[in-house]
Copies of this chain bind each other. A is one copy, B any other.
Amino acid sequence: MDIAPTADRPSLPTTRADCLALDAADPLAPLRARFDLPEGVIYLDGNSLGARPRSALARAQDVVAREWGRDLIRSWNDAGWFELPKRLGDRLAPLIGAHAGEVVVTDTTSLNLFKALAAALAIQEERAPARKTIVTERANFPTDIYMADGLARWLDRGYGVRLVDTPEELEAAVDADCAVLMLTHVNYRDGRQHDMAALTAHAHANGALTVWDLAHSAGAVPIDLHGAGADFAVGCTYKYLNGGPGAPAFIWVPQRHQAAFSHPLTGWWSHAAPFAMAHGFAAADGIGRALCGTQPVVSLALVECGLDVFDATDMTALREKSLALTDLFIGLVERRCAGHRLTLVTPREHARRGSHVSFTHPHGYAVMAALIGRGVIGDYREPDIMRFGFTPLYTGFTDVWDAVETLRDILDGEGYDIHAARAAVT
């Protein structure tokens, strides 16, 4: 698509009609019809909660009325409930460069990260027992740091988390103490994307394992876990994968690490024979050992509706449109909202960008509240970041134009309340 990578490129659309023309020519535009989006809303928060696939309503009705209500306990077998974490994992695998039998959809990203970190530390304890540090960025999503801290503190045998302040310090931090390099692929605040292959290669060359959090990149950017040689990965299904609010997360354990994969959360679903009700624990072969307890079937089943949509396209096409959308947004904001104290914090370089764009503004919370009040839904992250997520499956070029015009109007007219109280969830 003919969208400029920077604001000063002449090909940047200059009118709403230009954007309408881009939408008319967009081969992905028909996918929007597969989502239920409310009238009068431009939804730029799919990086936080993906929109609802239309099929999810019928699927929810079927799971509740037929599978639960009519078939009752038999659905554990007949409706495939018990196999659902693995079956959905197999469907998700191609989107992240994983193989079948390497992914399960289960639990939460936080818990899956805990399992992956525990397993990585255990492998290192065998290989290189002096390595005691989990290296990550201070700018990582906080729960990742909290979970790593929780694990390290409770193990209480010399493990610790080392936070680095800039991406440039990461390589040096992978030193002789480093057991695991734990990174989020695309940063939740500024949308910066790491070079997974390069950092993984660097970690391996220096004796560390890697754990990647794909929360803000799965379904948003092409990912090739095997190509990058990554060790473990976790991620979220309710953002760009459109699996539904709080839908269970995923964990990837490549076949080469499965035999050594161990963690403390050894519930019965990770047992080799859960219904034998054996007294001793014996881990399942394969990816099953990343499971723990009984999964929330209704929420889990809806994940499939999100994955179904990806069958109609591929990550290359999605990435092309995603970059066109974020280029357009950056370009239009910088041109049409110039002088309004907006500062881009997302990288301009394509290879370093995810699928959301963040600008700071001194009154970021108030401006975002005003945008939401006018139907342009992004979100806000402390202390001053406005985030705008672009989901090529259901966001069009005219949406971008209209969102920027609304932003411009709010800023031009100072139509925001700088004393707006924070809601519980921002």
Q: Identify which of A21-29, A216-224, A296-304, A311-319 touches chain B.
A: A296-304
Query: Which residues of chain B are within 8 angstroms of A336 by Cβ–Cβ distance?
Result: none
CA distance A69 to B242 in the complex (A): 11
Contact at B267–A143, with CB atoms within 8 Å? yes
Query: Which residues of chain B are within 8 angstroms of A114 by Cβ–Cβ distance?
Result: 264-265
- What's the least CB distance linking A324 to chain B, in Å? 23
A346 in the interface (beta carbon within 8 A): no
Q: A57-B61, A266-B146, A294-B238 are in contact. Are A245 and B75 (CB under 8 A)?
A: yes
Query: Which residues of chain B are within 8 angstroms of A270 by Cβ–Cβ distance?
Result: 146
CA distance A60 to B64 in the complex (A): 8
A52 in the interface (beta carbon within 8 A): yes
A255 in the interface (beta carbon within 8 A): no
- What's the least CB distance linking A194 to chain B, in Å? 19
Contact at A48–B73, with CB atoms within 8 Å? yes
CA distance A246 to B67 in the complex (A): 13
Interface string of A343-386 (1 = CB under 8 A from B): 00000000000000000000000000000100001010110000
- Identify which of residues 381-426 in chain A touch chain B, using a CB-to-CB cut-off of 8 Å: 381-382, 422-426
* Copies of the protein in its oligomer: 2
Q: Identify which of A11-19, A37-45, A198-206 touches chain B.
A: A37-45
Query: Which residues of chain B are within 8 angstroms of A43 by Cβ–Cβ distance?
Result: 72
- Identify which of residues 259-275 in chain A touch chain B, using a CB-to-CB cut-off of 8 Å: 263-268, 270-271, 274-275
Question: A36-B65, A51-B69, A141-B277 are known contacts; what are 19 more A-B pairs with Cβ within 8 Å?
Answer: A41-B72, A49-B73, A56-B68, A74-B372, A74-B377, A82-B425, A142-B274, A143-B293, A145-B281, A146-B281, A147-B267, A154-B154, A244-B297, A244-B298, A247-B298, A277-B382, A296-B298, A297-B299, A299-B299
A contacts, CB < 8 Å to B: 36-38, 41, 43, 45, 48-49, 51-52, 56-57, 60-61, 63-65, 67-77, 81-83, 107-111, 114, 118, 138, 141-143, 145-147, 149-151, 153-157, 163, 189, 238, 244-249, 263-268, 270-271, 274-279, 281, 292-300, 302, 372, 377, 379, 381-382, 422-426
